[in-house]
Amino acid sequence: MTDESPKTQEPRLWSADGWTARVIKNEDDDGWAVAMTKDGASEPALIGPWTMGRDKKNPKPLDGNAFSTLVKTAHEFVRRSEQQLNASLHQSIEISVGDRRITVCLDIVPDDENPSATLRAEDEVGETLAEVRVVPSFKLNRASAVAWAQAGFARPAGS
């Protein structure tokens, strides 16, 4: 017995490998688009243009090769989006203060009701030198990191 979801292989709808490709009318022009939706997701992860068929009126039917390419493209798009989100929520920058090398990290916890953020300084071996809560909109850059360290790691103004 396998736990795989059933495969659908229709001209405008393919489902397999945890993804569904649906050919849809492009709302912006006379062409067609394909929406790639991950199983369990309510919204498509990726929507892109789709090729017209030979009659230049209807869409080209989906096939195995096209579906495989679409799955790979959608998977990579989701992976890059997750990496970008992670990078925006977990930032770090290395600075020099005197003769010390310090890594300043900003970790943001998104939350619809109570977002938060923590600013942390670590020495060369990873020991925490300071940690303070800051507003989630705090901008970590070289200037703000140096200013924080030079102020003795006091809570930044406006936080």
Query: Are 65 and 113 in the same domain?
Result: no
3-state secondary structure of 92: strand
Q: Using 50, 70 and 90 to split pLDDT, how confident is the model at 1?
A: very low
> What pLDDT, on the 0 to 100 scale, is given for residue 2?
47
Q: Which two tokens stand for residue 24?
A: 């849809």
Query: Are 22 and 82 in the same domain?
Result: yes
Domain hosting residue 21, numbered range: 8-88
Q: What whole-number percentage of the chain has pLDDT above 70?
A: 95
Q: What is the pLDDT of residues 104-116, one digit of tens each?
A: 999 999 988 999 9
Please count the structural domains in the chain: 2
Q: Is residue 23 part of a domain?
A: yes
Strand partners, 9: 14
What CA–CA distance (Å, rounded) separates 153 from 130? 6
How do beta strands 90-97 and 46-50 pair? unpaired
Q: Is residue 2 part of a domain?
A: no
- Whether the per-residue pLDDT at 6 is higher than 80: the answer is no
- Per-chain mean pLDDT for the chain: 91
